[in-house]
Structure 1
Amino acid sequence: MRCRHYLTVQCMDSPSDSARMMLYRPAFHQLLHRFTEFYTIPNLNSRGRPAKLRYHHRILGLVLSFYVESMEQSTLWTLFGAPTSTFSRTLRRAEEALSKALNGYAPVRISWPSPAHQVELAKLIESREPFLTHTFDFRFFPLMKVQQPSNADLQNAMCNGWLHAVFVTGKICFAADGCIIWSKHNYPGS
């Protein structure tokens, strides 16, 4: 019979060292190279003002900040120095380009590990936490705040009364090495 042991905060690495919290410089440059193929920045011409966002790394940073940071859009406008209309237009185009760039791109695929790889991952966890045997992953359940639906029944189904807001829950399963091995989003409620 197996005993259950749970990961606690003391067992885990600090979030700043985790692959789920940051994109390391080589990974960013690799993604930037791929993103550049799908996003074209309009050429400067003699008429009109120059573009506010003229570099691919700023545009990729904008869309990644929009996805990761929990700040208002007005803060992002200020941070990237772009007017609201430019920000919205650039963000829409950047999201489309990022979607195309990630489609079929092997380094960002989500894949379940083979049984042999599961054993290797379990050994990684067991070397750090000896009581956790046969464990090769951990799960992360972020709550993402969304706009409240106008339909009262739908809003009631999605409302988290404890947090007094409407959320969509994501479920992400990470392997011990930090790779995402399973993910499902848009769970209404909490």
Structure 2
Amino acid sequence: MTQGTRNIQVELVNRLEEEDEIDDELQDQYTLAATIAGIGSIEAHRSRVEARAQHRGYLLRSDLLPNPRTITPWQRLRDGRSDHAYIVTMGLDVKTFELILSSGFQRRWEESTIDRTDVSSVGAPRPERRSLDAAGALGLVLHWLCSTMREISLQQIFALIPSTVNRYLAFSLRILLETLKELPQASISWPDQVNEHNEFEKLSEIVTSRHSLLKGAFGSIDGLNLPCQVSDDVEIENATYNGWLHGHFISSVFVFGARGTLIGGHFNCPGSWHDSRVAMPIYNRLRDRTPNGYYLVADTAFPRGTASVEGRIRAPIKAGQKLPHDPTGPSVLRSRLERVG
């Protein structure tokens, strides 16, 4: 090998070493730039979180009691087993609560999988890993149904974060409805008259024991219009719009017996329907399944139906209306209804 060839090889080796050093420096610079960018991204995220935290309307796990299954306001209420406390917060007494719990709600809670995006819908449920047991889930949904409290109050009472509250409410509402559909005591049934067993007469006796002039009254009827959101669908938007009330509503009619139980109704009707159309199923029951002499009590605004149910829905006379000379006439009875009501 000549001296010239050897010099060329040495020069090539030196150049390769210089290029390696340049590559190492560039790599170090890239790594440093990426590190700085990553730190900047983390700090930016932290700043956004802190900014949102100043305006958030929910509680974090660290803001709540440590264990939802131990010492919480709900557990205190549950252990107290006070009928008064149960009725005030959940709308039913201890006996009814336990009846619903044992009639299928607890079984469904323990045997069904709660819907989650990260959990298989056909997987085996693990109720022991849940924040609430079956009684707690029933208490949660009843608190929500029987009050207008904010969700943050439910978080404090049951020591649950918002996502858990929403998930448990959706699941508990579904299994509660399934349970009530199978529970005979939860059925909505019109009174019956079979031979000597006359439910209408028994209900009327309850009324007349307090209001002796209302002989024949076996319950009351009233309507309810619930405001709803305006739908983007034109047909739904038109169906829910009530021109008289100038808003969008869902309409229902409720019939309560003298014992305070729901004995009839027509629910979730379009708000555009006239009151008499919403109440039509009740008119049919009054005409076909109610003995003569029995009636429901309503307020002055409730429609009394067609001639076929005349006298089956009675209301007080309106303000300013004159009474007839006959003191035993139907108008006088309506005025008495106004006084005792």
TM-score (norm 1): 0.72
Aligned residue among 28, 35, 53 for 2:97: 28
Describe the shift of the 1:121–1:59 C-alpha distance in structure 2 as closer, same or farther (beyond 3 A).
same
% same residue: 27
SS at match of 1:150: coil
Identify the range of structure 1 (86-95 vs 75-84) with the bigger mean alpha-carbon deviation: 75-84
Describe the shift of the 1:121–1:184 C-alpha distance in structure 2 as closer, same or farther (beyond 3 A).
same
Q: Which amino acid counterpart does residue 39 of structure 1 have in structure 2? A: W
Corresponding residue of 2:310? none
Which of the two has greater helix per residue?
2
SS at match of 1:82: coil
Corresponding residue of 2:126? 42
State the structure with more CA Rg.
Answer: 2
Aligned residue among 223, 226, 233 for 1:144: 226
Deviation at 1:186, TM superposition (A): 0.7
Matched ranges for 1:56-135 at <5 A: 56-115=134-193, 116-135=198-217
Matched ranges for 1:3-14 at <5 A: none
Q: Number of matched residues?
A: 165
SS at match of 1:133: coil
- Measure the CA separation in 2 of the matches of 1:160 and 1:124: 37
Deviation at 1:75, TM superposition (A): 4.4
Describe the shift of the 1:170–1:66 C-alpha distance in structure 2 as closer, same or farther (beyond 3 A).
farther
- Measure the CA separation in 1 of the matches of 2:153 and 2:266: 29
Corresponding residue of 2:53? none
Corresponding residue of 1:167? 249
Q: What runs of 5+ residues in structure 1 fail to find an aligned partner? A: 1-17, 45-49
SS at match of 1:26: helix
SS at match of 1:181: strand
SS at match of 1:112: coil
Matched, 1:51 2:51: no
Summarize deviations over 1:136-165 as a string: whole Å, max 9, x none: 011243333333312355335424578775
Q: What runs of 5+ residues in structure 2 fail to find an aligned partner? A: 1-86, 111-124, 273-341
- Measure the CA separation in 2 of the matches of 1:71 and 1:159: 28
Confirm or deny: 8 A CA contact 2:91 2:146 kept in the other structure.
Answer: no
Deviation at 1:59, TM superposition (A): 0.7
Q: Which amino acid counterpart does residue 159 of structure 2 have in structure 1? A: G
Pick 1 or 2: higher relative contact order, CA cutoff 8 A, min separation 6: 1
Matched, 1:176 2:258: yes
SS at match of 1:128: coil
Deviation at 1:176, TM superposition (A): 0.3
Describe the shift of the 1:72–1:167 C-alpha distance in structure 2 as closer, same or farther (beyond 3 A).
farther
- Measure the CA separation in 1 of the matches of 2:100 and 2:257: 21
Q: Which amino acid counterpart does residue 94 of structure 2 have in structure 1? A: R
Deviation at 1:118, TM superposition (A): 0.3
- Measure the CA separation in 2 of the matches of 1:66 and 1:184: 23
Corresponding residue of 1:7? none
- Measure the CA separation in 2 of the matches of 1:68 and 1:118: 29
Summarize deviations over 1:84-122 as a string: whole Å, max 9, x none: 322222122212211221122111111111121101111
Q: CA RMSD in A?
A: 2.8
Q: Which amino acid counterpart does residue 51 of structure 1 have in structure 2? A: R
- Measure the CA separation in 2 of the matches of 1:98 and 1:80: 18
Confirm or deny: 8 A CA contact 2:91 2:142 kept in the other structure.
Answer: no
Deviation at 1:180, TM superposition (A): 1.3
TM-score (norm 2): 0.43
